[in-house]
Structure 1
Amino acid sequence: MNNFQPSHTLINKLTTIYQLYGETSNFEKYYRKELEKLANVAKIQSTDSSNRIEGIYTSDSRLNKIISDKVEPRDRDERKIAGYRDMLSLIHENYRYMSITKNTILSMHNMLFKYAGDSWGGHFKDINNKIIAKYADGHEEVRFNPPDAFLVPELIDGLCKQYNEAFERGEISPLVLSAAFVFDFVSIHPFRDGNGRMSRLLMLLTMYRSGLEVGKYISLEKIIEDSKESYYDVLATSSVGWNENQNDYAPFVNYYLAVVVKAYRDLIERIGLVHNHKELKADKLILKTLQQQLRPLSRAELVELIPQYSQTTIQRNLKQLRDEKRSNQLEKGKILNTFLVKTPKMTKNNSK
């Protein structure tokens, strides 16, 4: 890692992560039902966000049906979404058996593209490519020129061996190793397509191997999507000098750790709502959540924030609250008027 020296900021983030990890260590024992619901929400969000970062979309209704495997993908975007769904499930269920090797990475890429019908699924790139950053305003920039295609098999093999050897030595935090591994993978850019999505899947897998399971319950991909400008900025900053082995990993590692910190804080917040408001009925908890968030929320966000109640229960109580608002302008109606539930986001293919 180019004589990487952790800063006080980085050390503080690592300390915070393991403190937060300690706070969540008993969640599986006491909140199993709520965690199962959060895992289902996270799976949808992770699939959606990781694909959206790459400009891959479908409507919210189609997304939910694809995640539930209730419909067949009907276009190229949906086939890519279905592949990501399957890879997420595989990692969540089988990460203990997935070693970090070149063959594992090729197999993951093959599964990612198994519905797409592309001949390059499961094969390293055979042409040179560039790393393109896509920004919110629609413009794109060449961020980095990766190594030539003929170098990729050896580079990926060497990356995996170096990661595994460093992991076994235990001299560097496994989370820092995870961040460096993901960054080097992106910099090698080993595939013709799917490199960004693969990097986020490898983030989840290496975090599992580090003993941290927060990515099962809180979508790491959504946190990255929500901070996409920063994500591209740190990728660009840490890329300078990479081909000469003179780059600075610190900007990306610090960003990476900040994502993990936020994921743990979000998990604690979700379970905290359960623990602190066990006796509140659904309608009261919806209103309390809207008040605490101080912003409009979508139905999906409410479902995520209130894991002790099902989506159906939340939707039914939202309807009742709206009916009460129309007939009663007392305090409850005013609260809803101040914190209106926002409508679902529009996506490129919402007309489908």
Structure 2
Amino acid sequence: MLRTDTLQITPEILSLIARIDEFKGAWRALGTLAPERLSALRRVATIESIGSSTRIEGSRLTDREVERLLSNLAIQSFGTRDEQEVAGYAELMELVFSSWQDIPFNENHIKQFHQILLRHSEKDVRHRGQYKTHSNSVAAFDENGSQIGIVFETTAPFDTPRRMTELVLWVNNEQAKGHLHPLLIIALFGVVFLEIHPFQDGNGRLSRVLTTLLLIQSGYAYVPYSSLESVIEMNKEAYYLALRQTQGTLSKDAPDWQPWLVFFLRSLAEQVRRLEKKVEREKIVLAALSELSLQIVEFAREHGRVTMMEAIRLTGASRNTLKQHLRALTERQHLEQHGSGRGVWYRLK
């Protein structure tokens, strides 16, 4: 079982938990945004989460390419491994968001999640949904998707079933007892799950989906509207360092949870900060923008970007009129301009 007697609750950890829980409590009021705006926020966050989580593991697809792929998921035909991984991740996230209330946290469902995650991955047919039978390790990848090193050697296949049973039992027992704060339980689960690395492949992506599930089930209802995976991708070196520092102590008598716990809680706090900024922008947009400008901003939010031709098709307005609106939106810092001439496009600031 997990050794939590060495868990140190520092002032920073207390402050981060208080900050996150304050936003959790305020989300009921913030969550009264119009349904279509909430839907747009969730769509953007979902695209960011899928793109970031798969890129952390070596994928090269951009968010724009992920968005295009998601619009064609019904085709069920994916030419590259990157596309196969994105499709599986998208389907699993949708399941979590739509059915989290009906998903008990147990090993059977963790294995089912793995099955869905790798459903489209041709090279993973033999081992998806099953604990590993060969040794594996945690690898780090650079921005080009190339492996740059081994972060950690993981639990042996022989010991994996026992350790997973113990880990899942620990989570459920701690949740029932209520002695540890839910965020601490979720943080410790994540780092130990990755130390075990129970499946042959897909462990990093699965750990982030399971973290999302546990957060939502613990009452953090805002999670689908802001991408935690995107925060982690932006701090990938610190992510690997925190994993290595904590995981290297887990077999000792006094595990050092601090590096991972601080990284995890700081990432959650940054997720909250980003969502607060988005919600504030929503309120400003609602109060200050004309209907035409509002249409442009909503399109950019839902699709990640907007071009002049898209704005013309969307609104029916003339190019000169739209130039004025796009210039004003850029000057007010609702949008930021990329490119120039006919190749110009805009995205949310």
Q: Scaled by the length of structure 1, what TM-score is found?
A: 0.82
Is the aligned partner of 1:190 residue 2:198?
yes
Deviations 1:94-152 (A, max 9, x none): 11121221111111101111111321100111011121122448561222111111100
1:262 pairs with 2:241: no
Q: Is the 8 A contact 1:130 1:144 kept in 2?
A: yes
Give 5+ residue unaligned stretches, structure 2: 340-349
Distance 1:62 1:15, change over 3 A: closer
Instruction: State the distance in 1 between where 2:236 and 2:114 align.
Output: 23
Q: Distance in 2 between matches of 1:63 and 1:325?
A: 32
**Residue 38 of structure 1: aligned partner:** 41
> Is contact 2:54-2:205 (8 Å) kept?
yes
In structure 2, C-alpha distance between the alignment counterparts of 1:85 and 1:341, rounded to whole Å: 29
C-alpha distance after superposition, 1:146-175 (max 9, x if no partner): 111110011001100011101111111101
Structure 2 residue matching 1:48: 3-state secondary structure: helix
The C-alpha deviation readout for 1:279-313, integer Å capped at 9, x for no partner, is: 313776799x9xxxxxxxxx99x52699xxx9689
Q: 1:271 to 1:188 in 2, by over 3 A?
A: same
3-state SS of the aligned residue for 1:241? coil
Equivalence for 1:127? 134
1:3 positional shift:
2.4
Query: 1:316 maps to what in 2?
Result: 311
Is residue 79–residue 116 contact of structure 1 (8 Å, CA) maintained in 2? yes
What does residue 218 of structure 2 align with?
Answer: 210
Aligned ranges for residues 239-278 of structure 1 at < 5 Å? 239-278=247-286
Report the AA paired with residue 23 of structure 1.
A
Q: Which residue in the other structure is 2:54 paired with?
A: 51
Distance 1:334 1:76, change over 3 A: closer
Report how far residue 315 of structure 1 moved: 4.6
What's the CA shift string for 1:56-79, capped at 9, x where partnerless? 233655422332325432222211
Paired position in structure 1 for 2:342: none
Contact residue 2 and residue 245 of structure 1 kept, 8 A? no
For 2:248 and 2:172, the matched residues in 1 are separated by 25
Aligned to 1:76: 81
Q: Which moved more, 1:22-31 or 1:222-231?
A: 22-31
SS at match of 1:244: coil
Alignment of 1:1-352 (within 5 A): 1-58=4-61, 62-68=65-71, 69-71=73-75, 72-117=77-122, 118=124, 119-136=126-143, 138=146, 140-278=148-286, 279-281=288-290, 303=301, 315-316=310-311, 335=331, 341-342=337-338
Q: What is the CA-CA distance between 1:231 and the residue it aligns to?
A: 0.8
Instruction: Flag the 1:149–1:182 CA change in 2: closer, same or farther, 3 A.
Output: same
**Aligned-partner residue type, residue 90 of structure 1:** L
Q: Distance in 2 between the 1:319 and 1:91 partners?
A: 32
SS class of match (1:4): coil
* Equivalent residue letter for 1:6: I
Is the Cα–Cα contact under 8 Å of residues 28 and 35 in structure 1 kept in the other structure?
yes
Q: Deviations over 1:253-290 (max 9, x none)?
A: 11111121122222221121121332313776799x9x
TM-score, with normalisation over the residues of structure 2? 0.82
Structure 1: distance between partners of 2:329 and 2:69: 36
CA distance in 2, matches of 1:333, 1:246: 55
* Gap change, CA 1:240 and 1:60, over 3 Å in 2: closer
Q: Which one-letter code corresponds to 1:99 in the other structure?
A: P
2:52 match: secondary structure: helix
The CA deviation at 1:244 is 2.8
Distance 1:182 1:191, change over 3 A: same
> How far is the alpha carbon of 1:88 from its aligned partner?
0.1
Instruction: Indicate conservation of the 8 Å contact 2:20/2:268, yes or no.
Output: yes
SS at match of 1:144: strand
Change (3 A) 1:263 1:61: closer
Q: CA deviation at 1:247?
A: 2.4
Q: Could you report, residue by residue, the CA deviation over 1:201-225 in whole angstroms, capped at 9, with x for unpaired residues? A: 1110110121102221111111111
Tell whether the 8 Å contact from 1:2 to 1:248 is kept in structure 2 after alignment.
no
Moved more, 138-147 or 152-161: 138-147
Q: CA RMSD in A?
A: 3.4
Q: In structure 2, how many angstroms separate the alpha carbons of the residues matched to 1:127 and 1:153?
A: 13
Figure out how many residues of one structure are paired with residues of the other and give that number. 326
- Give how far 1:8 is off: 0.6
